[in-house]
Amino acid sequence: MNSYYLTLVLKPDLEEKERKTLLDSIGKKAVGSEGKVEKEDFWGNKDLAYPIKRQTKGYFAHFEISADPKDIKGLDKSLKVEEDVLRYLLIRR
């Protein structure tokens, strides 16, 4: 088990229910079968320093995760293709 930080920037125009569903599914993919989400922190909509995919605002969320590296590889692949994620940063701490 390794510890990771995951910070996401989501599209700001997502409805609350869609955003919650997306964040829950990302959390479940991240932990896999044995891991756990140690901390969730939602920062809300913030202005971006520069436009990303023609968006000037983004919804920020931060997770601290303990998970198996194999599960994290799968999460990384799924975040790359998720169209509602503008940017993400996934690092091992």
Question: Where do the domains of the chain lie?
Answer: 2-92
CATH class as words, domain 2-92: alpha beta
Task: Return d(Cα 84, Cα 63) in angstroms, integer.
Answer: 17
Q: Of 3-17, 46-60, 67-81, where does mean pLDDT reach its minimum?
A: 67-81
Tell me the whole-structure pTM to 2 decimals: 0.89
**Amino acid, res. 44:** G
pLDDT category at 86 given cuts 50, 70, 90 is very high
Q: What is the pLDDT of residue 61?
A: 95
Residue 60 bridge partners (DSSP): 9, 44
32, 67 Cβ separation under 8 angstroms:
yes
CA separation for the pair 69, 57 (Å, rounded): 31
1-24 residue pLDDT tens:
899 999 999 999 999 999 999 999
